[in-house]
């Protein structure tokens, strides 16, 4: 049963689950057993951070923390201005930090975060992004772990919202144009 506003499912829960498992495997291979700090970027990366953490081996040394940023406000277009709404609680100096993002679009959010976090002198800083929308990139940012190539459409689900709705969908979906009309006009 889909919400009426959903036009189609782009990635099912099973496809997302497999991708999260693949990314966890890549993280293990690349970090070679070093302790890591997953830094989830809320609100969008809520589900992804939780699932990624559980996909890592149980004996891995993993810390989890969150930052809250926003650039989209309540609409469907990025404002281009990234705001730090809530900082992380843990110090990151000397740690192997992995930024966990649900989606990258123009890249300004990740560019801002990488700049901010690098200035705090982590032992290493990597980025893990589940959905990649490479069509409107305004900032060239390194991404060590990439999940799925996302179509150039407004997408919701698995943490991503439209006006704070649809984050709870277990899949990634495209919204009907009509649902976005008020914003596009």
Residues noted as catalytic: 105
Residue nearest to ligand PRP (CB): 44
- Whichever of 19 and 109 has its CB closer to ligand PRP, that residue is 109
Distance CA 116, CA 134 (A): 22
Whether the CB-CB separation of 75 and 104 falls below 8 Å is answered with no
Q: Which is nearer to ligand PRP, 24 or 110 (CB)?
A: 110
- Euclidean distance between CA atoms 117 and 115, whole angstroms: 6
Separation between Cα atoms, residue 143 and residue 141, nearest integer Å: 6
Which residues bind to ligand PRP, rule: CB under 6 A?
41, 43-44, 70-72, 78, 101-110, 161
Q: How far is the CB of 138 from ligand PRP (least distance, A)?
A: 8
Least distance from C-beta 113 to ligand PRP, angstroms? Answer: 8
Closest CB 82 distance from ligand PRP, rounded Å: 7
Can you name the residues that pair with 74 across neighbouring β-strands? Answer: none
CB of 169 to ligand PRP, least distance (A): 14
- At 159, give phi and psi (nearest 5°): 105, -25
Q: Is 155 exposed, middle or buried (0-12, 13-18, 19+ CB in 10 A)?
A: buried
Q: Which helix (H) or strand (E) holds 178?
A: helix 177-184
Nearer to ligand PRP, 24 or 155 (CB): 155
Closest to ligand PRP by CB, 107 or 122: 107
By DSSP bridging, strand 145-149 and strand 83-86 are unpaired
C-beta of 176: minimal distance to ligand PRP in Å?
19
Cβ atoms of residues 6 and 175 within 8 Å = yes
Name which of 35 and 151 has its Cβ closer to ligand PRP: 151
């Amino acid at each position: 049963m889909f919400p009426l506003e959903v036009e189609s499912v782009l990635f099912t829960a099973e496809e997302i689950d497999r991708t999260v498992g693949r990314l966890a495997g890549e993280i293990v291979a690349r970090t070679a057993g070093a302790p890591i700090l997953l830094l989830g970027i809320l609100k969008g990366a809520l589900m992804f951070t939780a699932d990624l953490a559980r996909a890592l081996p149980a004996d891995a040394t993993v810390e989890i923390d969150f930052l809250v940023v926003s650039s989209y406000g309540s609409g469907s277009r990025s404002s281009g201005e990234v705001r730090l709404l809530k900082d992380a609680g843990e110090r990151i100096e000397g740690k192997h930090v992995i930024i966990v993002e649900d989606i990258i679009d123009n890249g300004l959010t990740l560019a801002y975060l990488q700049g901010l976090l690098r200035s705090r002198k982590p032992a290493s800083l990597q980025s893990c992004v589940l959905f990649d929308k490479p069509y409107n990139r305004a900032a060239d940012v390194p991404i060590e772990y990439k999940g799925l190539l996302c179509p150039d459409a407004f997408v919701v689900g698995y943490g991503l919202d439209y006006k704070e709705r649809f984050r709870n969908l277990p899949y990634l979906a495209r919204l009907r144009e009509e649902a976005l009309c008020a914003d596009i006009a």
